[in-house]
Copies of this chain bind each other. A is one copy, B any other.
Amino acid sequence: MRTLFLSAKSAATLISKAGIARCIRELVGEINQDFRHWEQFDKSARLAAHSAQGVIEIMPVSNQQTYGFKYVNGHPNNYRHELPTVMAFGVLADVATGQPEFISELTLITALRTAATSVLAAIHMANPRARSMALIGNGAQSEFQAVAFHELLGIDTFYLYDIDFSATEKLANHLYELGFNTILCGSVPEAVREVDIITTATAAKTHANVLSMNMLRPGVHINAIGGDCPGKTELHPDILNNASVFVEYEPQTRIEGEIQQMPADFPVTELWKVLTGVAAGRVTSDQITVFDSVGFALEDFSAMRYIKRLALANGGLESLGLIPDLTDPKNLYGLLVPTEVA
């Protein structure tokens, strides 16, 4: 009756040893598999608690065997406290008994699964000959995006822009070490002018219009991952009106995604339909495509099952006494030593 535990440090060691690119590649496979079994999962929009400083969310999902949830926050001003904007952990439990079996750090793993989901979508939505990507917002997520798009789509040239130049420098250094081509840009229009793919991953909790229609060239794919809660968007509505828009889980994205700016009947296509061939991804080379990604519980579910398997094979798991060991399950009181007599 122990619960397995994977710490942030052990996860970092595990992923470093396996290789970041390999982990992302394998995660793309896992997420693809699970999204292709979309109808077997019990899905709901995540439960969000908003405050002036940010948001705390619980993201549950389950199938017949396994229940999972992620705890995650989003606090754009956390850097002032030397804390990450996004921190996360998650749990896998056995549906048959309710026993929590695995608790994992997910701050790092969220970054991997977000990049994996982005590239999985882009495989079907970007132009097949795409070679360049703009990264708008060069925070914690940006390197993972670059590695994912390099590994699975062969993107080798990255245009970087962030309002915080030190973030861009940090990203440029990492991409240089990886041997990627980087162009540091002074503005968003400059960064996006010539690219095949644009990833927006900014943190400000506002309707930001990071991109507007006049900045875009025909055929571009926009991987919009920063707009992910009510009041937080990155794209001018004109872009959505002129693009084919894809989402993870429509009921959640209507609340949280770029399409919160649009009427309730604005047409979108769920990713799983593209992955299973029920719906088309990109159809023409001039089409503008938008993956309006907010992050869905199933991605974390896939990632937790993946990292648990990796840890079981390679080590790094601890165990926690989270649930009491009872010889008689009806005798919870027997755990206690009464100290008083009436």
Contact = CB atoms under 8 A, between A and B. Distances in A.
A313 interface: no
Contacts of A299: none
A215 interface: no
Given A8-B321, A20-B338, A140-B333, A56 B98 contact: yes
Contacts of A329: 78-79, 82-85, 140
Interface string A64-82: 1001010101110011011
Contact of A332 (B42, B62, B111): B111
A330 B178 contact: no
Contacts of A83: 1, 97, 99, 329
Interface stretch (A47-55, A124-132, A253-261, A283-291): A47-55
Interface in A7-46: 7-9, 12, 15-17, 19-22, 42, 44
Interface of A: 1, 5, 7-9, 12, 15-17, 19-22, 42, 44, 47, 49, 51, 53-56, 58, 60, 62, 64, 67, 69, 71, 73-75, 78-79, 81-85, 87, 89, 91, 93, 95-100, 103, 105, 107-108, 111, 138-144, 150, 156, 164, 167, 170, 174, 177-180, 320-342
A17 B139 CA distance: 48
A225 B145 CA distance: 50
Contacts of A170: 328, 330-331
B341 A56 contact: no
B320 A7 contact: yes
Contacts of A55: 98
Contacts of A69: 58, 71
Given A139-B330, A336-B12, A60 B49 contact: yes
Given A53-B96, A85-B329, A329-B78, A8 B338 contact: no
A67 B87 contact: no
Given A51-B95, A321-B8, A333 B143 contact: yes
A336 B99 contact: no
A141 to B, nearest CB: 8
Contact of A105 (B58, B73, B156, B322): B322
B49 A47 contact: no
A71 B9 CA distance: 25
A335 to B, nearest CB: 4
Nearest to A84: B329
Given A78-B98, A97-B78, A341-B178, A67 B62 contact: no
19 contacts: A5-B320, A8-B323, A12-B335, A15-B336, A17-B339, A47-B60, A51-B95, A79-B330, A82-B329, A84-B323, A89-B100, A105-B324, A140-B330, A140-B333, A141-B332, A156-B342, A178-B340, A178-B341, A179-B341
